[in-house]
Structure 1
Amino acid sequence: MKKIFLIFCLFLVSICVFFAFQMKNRISAESKNAETVLLDVPSGTPAIALGNILKKAGIWDDGLAYKVWCKLNPPSIHKGWYEIPPHQTLDEIAAILESGKTAVRKVNIPEGRASWEIPAYLKKAFPNLDEKRWNDLVQDPKFARSLGVDANSLEGYLLPDTYPFPIDADEETIIKQMVAANLRLRDKLENEPGPSKWKRLGSWHKVLTLASVVEEETGIPEERPLIAGVFHNRLDIDMPLGADPTVRFIFKNLTGPIYKSQLNSDSPYNTRKFKGLMPGPISNPGLKAIEATLHPAETKALYFVAKDDGSMTHFFSSTLADHNKYKNVAAKNRGE
């Protein structure tokens, strides 16, 4: 009897070892998905319920192996969207879900775009973006103040950059992320050592306002400090900025001719007609334009005109007579 009992025990141990070995192999197997799967993990998902989510997504279909693994390694899951690459083990899948590093869509927002131009870039990643809701939020003073912006609009506060937006981001989420980046830049630049034009302008809002004009007047980074220097000189002597882009902003006339009727507009954004800064930015300036505004070149120039020779650069001058000469040169360059 003892021999029979011993043989029976050895048989049971062998079976347990066999099934344990089998289960270990099943647990350490790789996921079934042949391509990266975007997985939505709702808030409050228990670890056991995650097994059903993985099964429906075609990632893991061995329910028993998952349950055993879950008992041995209870995961701490964070809600969000996650990208699950192919051929992942349960340990690797858990590491992704526990990391909290949710899936993102990267979008590049170029410098100098007005707020109403930005949705065109966002829609490549977020085709369902609601442009009306976007524009309503940008123009909502109450929403602006809720984000820490003391202005009637968020124009100028949508910092251009390449952003990793959450994959399920809506208009409000995207705006909040861009404005937060702008305000972080404000805090960084405000505490910079050394002289700047911050005090001369008086506020971050005015820095962004002038920087938006600097941004629009030249696409050549090396010219921005000179352009900024001209505008600071004009402000110092109470001379109108005379910037055509401010007129284009009024009429959303971003290209083509500017008409005399537009130049005579009574809008406070018309710097061809009124002195000083506009009420707010005309676009969303990038870091380089903002830095040029705070640290302009030392220059006596009061005027500039595009050379129109294909270089995209400008003639700068300190007198109206020289400015008019350069305008004639530019006209010849255009073949007039």
Structure 2
Amino acid sequence: MDRRSRHVEDKRRLRADEKKASHKIVAWVLGILFAVLVIVGLMGYRYVHSALQPVNPNGQTSVNVTVPAGSSTKQIAAKLEAKHVIKSAMVFNYYVKFHNIADFQAGSYQLTQRDSMNQVIQKLRAGGTAATAAGQLLVKEGATIEQIATSVNKLGKSNRNLTSKKFMALMKNQAFFAKMAKKYPQLLSSAASAQGVRYRLEGYLFPATYSVSAGETVEDLVEAMLAKTDSVMQSYYKSIKKQGYTVQEVMTLASLVEREGVTQEDRRTIAGVFLNRIDADMPLQSDISVMYALNTHKTHLTNKDTSVDSPYNLYVHTGYGPGPFDSPSEQSITAVLSPNDRSKHYLYFVANLKTGEVLYATTREQHDENTAKFASDNSSVNK
């Protein structure tokens, strides 16, 4: 064999060896991936299988679970897990969805930890004792924690668990807040890190009408409010992150816009004014913030009022302040995320409390002129 032939033969052998080596590597990688998939699959199967079993096969204690009318599967699952009747709310949700189960009945149920997940589901489909209605709780747009507490107290005649005292105690319960923050991290993570707040859940109890059953606790009621807020905010989390805000900042500005603006057009413009002032490092000078700091309502504020020593006094402090001042509506939240007229660089506005008319200005001189227009009837609010 000549020299050239040997060289060709050597190259063929080298290619053959490389091909064998690559096949071995591919087979090795595929083998590892297959093994990982098998392990993950087995672990997943064991987790789901375990979640379908009773929490305690020997459990004898009866657990009362009330399912209010209109409860979602997610809310029911969360309540069952919180009551330690099932092991996993996530598995419950997937199981119900996979089997296309959607006919749970509202009512009061006596369940035990020895019930399997399937047994719990069958009981919820069969229906329990009709939940005696304690009434309805209306949370108005712009309501504060303390105003909501007053409304809760009216339900106390038919449900001793629902009193303003118990409600306010829960608002100061840091362990309860931590539990809710863990359950609703997108909603409450920025509220958890806020400094100097009066009530961490201020602004997060969504304005709506809530049906309340006779056996419902303040914990159940507040969690229903937070679940409603989180449900509404799902449409806005992406926009909040994209615009560089925190949920706490958005809810804070929205709570001010809620009380300052009447029409949606004015809300969006007022939101623009507030954002422009923040960008210019100017205090927001909102009367709402001062009244919250004073914990009172006034038609007119004095110089002493606007100088009150409080982190909530946005006449003195720049920025957003510690947190929300009330429960804003969805309209006010959208106004903050989609303000108008920011291109005009408005920095001031004055509102006529009698007519609802709002005038805007880019300079202090223009603002003084606008204020003079409303000064004669003594019914203006300056910003």
Q: What TM-score do you get using the length of structure 1 for normalisation?
A: 0.66
Measure, in 1, the Cα distance between the counterparts of 2:245 and 2:317: 19
Amino acid in the other structure paired with 1:114: T
1:259 pairs with one of 274, 299, 302: 302
How do residues 123-138 of structure 1 correspond to structure 2 at under 5 angstroms? 123-127=153-157, 128=160, 129-138=162-171
Query: After the TM superposition, which residues 81-100 of structure 1 pair with which residues of structure 2 at under 5 Å, given as runs?
Result: 98=127
Shift of 1:109: 1.0
1:200 Cα offset (Å)? 4.1
* Contact 2:136–2:210, Cα closer than 8 Å, also in 1: yes
Give 1:97 shift: 6.8
Q: Is the 8 A contact 1:307 1:329 kept in 2?
A: no
CA contact (8 A) 1:269 1:278 kept: yes
CA distance in 2: counterparts of 1:285 and 1:208, whole angstroms: 7
Single out whichever of 239-248 and 141-150 deviates more from structure 2: 141-150
Partner of 2:208: 161
- 1:205-244 aligned within 5 A: 205-244=248-287
* Equivalent residue letter for 2:178: R
Q: What is the CA distance between 1:197 and its match in structure 2?
A: 5.6
**Correspondence for 2:288 among 227, 236, 245:** 245
**CA displacement at 1:213 relative to structure 2:** 0.9
Query: What is the deviation of 1:118?
Result: 0.6
| Alignment correspondent of 1:307 | 352
Tell whether the 8 Å contact from 1:116 to 1:135 is kept in structure 2 after alignment: yes
The amino acid across from 1:133 in the alignment is: K
In proportion to residue count, which structure has more helix? Answer: 2
Report the residue type matching 1:331 in the other structure: A
1:80 aligns with 2:108: yes
Let me know the Cα RMSD of the aligned residues.
3.0
- How many residues align? The count is 248
Counterpart CA distance in 2 for 1:228 and 1:183 is: 22
2:235 to 188, 208, 212: 188
- Conserved in 2, the CA contact under 8 Å of 1:186 and 1:204? no
Indicate conservation of the 8 Å contact 2:264/2:335, yes or no: no
- Alignment-derived partner of residue 140 in structure 1: 173
How many Å separate the matches in 1 of 2:356 and 2:369?
A: 18
Q: 211-220 or 281-290: which moved more?
A: 211-220
1:225–1:99 CA distance, 2 compared to 1 (3 A): farther
Q: How far apart are the structure 2 equivalents of 1:113 and 1:335?
A: 23
1:176 deviates by 1.0
Unmatched 5+ residue regions in structure 2? 1-61, 65-103, 110-122, 182-187
TM-score normalised to structure 2 length:
0.58
Q: Kindly state the Cα deviation for residue 209 of structure 1 after the two structures are TM-superposed.
A: 1.1
Give 1:199 deviation, angstroms. Answer: 4.1
Distance 1:326 1:332, change over 3 A: same
Structure 1 43/284 Cα, relative in aligned 2: closer, same or farther at 3 Å? same
Task: State the match for 2:377 in structure 1.
Answer: 333
Q: Distance in 1 between matches of 2:365 and 2:130?
A: 61
Tell me the distance in 1 between the aligned counterparts of 2:262 and 2:151.
19
Corresponding residue for residue 173 of structure 1: 220
Could you say if the C-alpha distance between residues 198 and 240 of structure 1 is closer, same or farther in structure 2, counting changes exceeding 3 Å?
farther
